[in-house]
A and B are shown apart, each in its own frame.
Chain A
């Protein structure tokens, strides 16, 4: 925008010059733009698009025919189960994260000044900490002799330690904890943008607090919830570290399956095909999401 107005101003100044000079200057401008965009385009082409392209050709390279690897994954009950489990896990984690994020975001939207700064730090700080560290912390806390079990036992709430680790409970706790900020930020933004006089108007017209919430506040903040839900869903689909550390063999996600194909079984075509099945799911989700929310604004929110 800045450059745009600058460009107009340049153009106005140039109108007195000859058309050949204008053409050469415009050519110069295009060269500058090209020189500025060149490095990033070369980088993305060589370090992102080309590797993914190699992976794609690898996925078609099975000796049993180009689509054999894709078919093998789709036909196997075990692999299908991993995909189904991952979808269910990602969906539930997104749901839980949104349910927890909603009241928290509401509180944040009511805070001002120092309290708001502290609360926002609490939301943003975990995003900066390595997923590995955040997951490791849960191993310490949730172990059989960990503080959580000891507190529950000293309060006589349970007689034997609960096994939180290496099962679904651990995966859910860890993944909700890691992904919660991604649900919270879009919901908070939506709540900040709610027109407060609307709520007063609803109140003044005799609506009960519940009616005001259900018919005004909730619909107005729903786009934020949708954005948060989809973002968490999207990120959870590809999750690797947290389920690998906190889950057991039953909690295998697609990402863990791909890793297994590459590092243990050394079947690259299957790994590549699995990765593209996963990408297909992600892209389908994005396609649905793009109808509701502006994801580019959400993804880079930190």
Chain B
């Protein structure tokens, strides 16, 4: 196609890419607001609202709760996701398709529906308002990404390596631990990081499952935004972005490093 269309698409594309990223960054300057209301960009910058965040136990406790819940959700979804991916390799393709559909279905069912259903069954069980309840709800939404990521890694494992290990007399569990596991580690790391972020950022299920004892940062933020418009919410947003960004960059960096290693290995 002629270069005029290419120029047009590059201009439009760049503008749209900017539209996708730049608005998110608007919360960063807002968090350094000095006044008691949000003005963008702020007239004067300060750490005033970061101090408010740290001084208010409700805010920093919610950050800690978010971290604990996310770790718990990550551990549960890594265990469930890895065993599921390993098991799905051993069944026939039609059975695998059914299992994949089942694992992915929580992403298709409207989240509000899952949220109220979990709220309804967890309340009488005493799981409502607990970190475990939140983590189980988050696992539902994080699991598909772990299964997909680990599944992709497993397909990349050279069967000859497994044969060699087995031929040398290693028991199945030892083959897994010493051969399969190191080879699928990038997939586990990617899936784990994603599970962590999915839990850390989750709002809808959390709104319904959180209680006074276990309230995550997004829930605290949601409740605050609905009542008042304070720069503390910009601080909370910045913290959510920072945690996500660190994990996002490390995953991208790790996966590109793994790719480079693989290429070097083939050469």
The digit string for B131-172, where 1 denotes a CB below 8 A from any CB of A, is 000001101100111011000001101110011001000001
Give A4's nearest chain B residue, CB to CB.
B89
Chain A 131-158 residues near chain B, CB threshold 8 A = 131-134, 136-141, 145-147
Q: Which chain B positions have C-beta within 8 A of A52?
A: 109, 113-114, 117
- CB of A262 within 8 A of CB of B84, answer no
The docked-state distance in angstroms from the alpha carbon of A226 to that of B239 is 36
Is A212 an interface residue, CB under 8 A from the partner?
A: yes
Q: Which chain B positions have C-beta within 8 A of A268?
A: 120
Give A106's nearest chain B residue, CB to CB.
B9
Out of A39, A282, A299, name the residue touching B104 (CB < 8 Å).
A299
Is A68 an interface residue, CB under 8 A from the partner?
A: no
Is B203 an interface residue, CB under 8 A from the partner?
A: yes
- CB of B144 within 8 A of CB of A300, answer yes
Q: Which chain B positions have C-beta within 8 A of A43?
A: 80, 136, 139, 143
Q: Which chain B positions have C-beta within 8 A of A7?
A: 90
Out of B81, B103, B248, name the residue touching A125 (CB < 8 Å).
B248
Q: Which chain B positions have C-beta within 8 A of A254?
A: 110
The docked-state distance in angstroms from the alpha carbon of A105 to that of B17 is 10
- CB of B26 within 8 A of CB of A302, answer no
Out of A132, A139, A209, A237, name the residue touching B1 (CB < 8 Å).
A209
The digit string for A48-92, where 1 denotes a CB below 8 A from any CB of B, is 101110110010000000000000000000000000000000000
- CB of A54 within 8 A of CB of B121, answer yes
The digit string for A184-226, where 1 denotes a CB below 8 A from any CB of B, is 0000000000000001000000000100110001000000000
Is B40 an interface residue, CB under 8 A from the partner?
A: yes
**Which residue of A130, A139, A240 has the most chain B CB atoms within 10 A of its CB atom?**
A130
- CB of A132 within 8 A of CB of B221, answer yes
Whether A37 contacts B83 in the complex (CB less than 8 A), given A48-B114, A128-B197, A299-B144, comes out as yes
Is A126 an interface residue, CB under 8 A from the partner?
A: yes
Out of B1, B121, B244, name the residue touching A130 (CB < 8 Å).
B244
Whether A279 contacts B110 in the complex (CB less than 8 A), given A137-B27, A141-B40, A296-B100, comes out as yes
CB distance from B205 to the nearest CB of A (A): 11
CB distance from B253 to the nearest CB of A (A): 11
**Which residue of B17, B19, B41, B233 has the most chain A CB atoms within 10 A of its CB atom?**
B17
- CB of B119 within 8 A of CB of A103, answer no
Give B25's nearest chain A residue, CB to CB.
A137
- CB of B108 within 8 A of CB of A299, answer yes
**Which residue of A101, A212, A254, A262 has the most chain B CB atoms within 10 A of its CB atom?**
A262
Is B74 an interface residue, CB under 8 A from the partner?
A: no
- CB of B112 within 8 A of CB of A258, answer yes
Main secondary structure of the interface of B (DSSP, over half): helix
- CB of A47 within 8 A of CB of B23, answer no
- CB of B27 within 8 A of CB of A241, answer no
Q: Which chain B positions have C-beta within 8 A of A51?
A: 114, 117-118, 120-121
**Which residue of A52, A254, A272 has the most chain B CB atoms within 10 A of its CB atom?**
A52
The docked-state distance in angstroms from the alpha carbon of A58 to that of B84 is 31
Is A264 an interface residue, CB under 8 A from the partner?
A: no
- CB of B13 within 8 A of CB of A240, answer no
Is A228 an interface residue, CB under 8 A from the partner?
A: no
Is B8 an interface residue, CB under 8 A from the partner?
A: yes
Q: Which chain B positions have C-beta within 8 A of A282?
A: 108-110
- CB of B87 within 8 A of CB of A181, answer no
The docked-state distance in angstroms from the alpha carbon of A277 to that of B30 is 41
The digit string for A92-116, where 1 denotes a CB below 8 A from any CB of B, is 0000000011011111101000000
Is A15 an interface residue, CB under 8 A from the partner?
A: no
Give A238's nearest chain B residue, CB to CB.
B110
The docked-state distance in angstroms from the alpha carbon of A134 to that of B203 is 12
- CB of A129 within 8 A of CB of B1, answer no
CB distance from B70 to the nearest CB of A (A): 12
The docked-state distance in angstroms from the alpha carbon of A196 to that of B240 is 42
The docked-state distance in angstroms from the alpha carbon of A151 to that of B40 is 11
Is B264 an interface residue, CB under 8 A from the partner?
A: no
Q: Which chain B positions have C-beta within 8 A of A131?
A: 201, 203
Q: Which chain A positions have C-beta within 8 A of B218?
A: 130, 132
Q: Which chain A positions have C-beta within 8 A of B102?
A: 44
> Can you give 22 A-B contacts (C-beta < 8 A)?
A1-B155, A7-B90, A39-B80, A103-B8, A104-B9, A110-B9, A126-B20, A126-B24, A130-B200, A131-B203, A132-B222, A133-B237, A136-B233, A136-B237, A139-B225, A140-B234, A147-B26, A180-B20, A238-B111, A275-B113, A278-B113, A299-B107
Beyond contacts A29-B90, A43-B143, A129-B24: 8 other A-B pairs, Cβ-Cβ < 8 A, are A50-B121, A103-B8, A107-B13, A130-B203, A132-B222, A147-B40, A241-B203, A259-B116
Q: 8 nearest interchain CB pairs?
A: A238-B110, A107-B13, A36-B87, A130-B201, A51-B117, A37-B87, A40-B84, A255-B112
A contact residues vs B (CB 8 Å cutoff): 1-7, 9, 29, 32-37, 39-40, 43-44, 47-48, 50-52, 54-55, 58, 100-101, 103-108, 110, 119, 121-126, 128-134, 136-141, 145-147, 177, 180-181, 199, 209, 212-213, 217, 234, 237-238, 240-241, 245, 254-255, 258-259, 262, 268, 271-272, 275-276, 278-279, 282, 286, 295-296, 299-300, 302
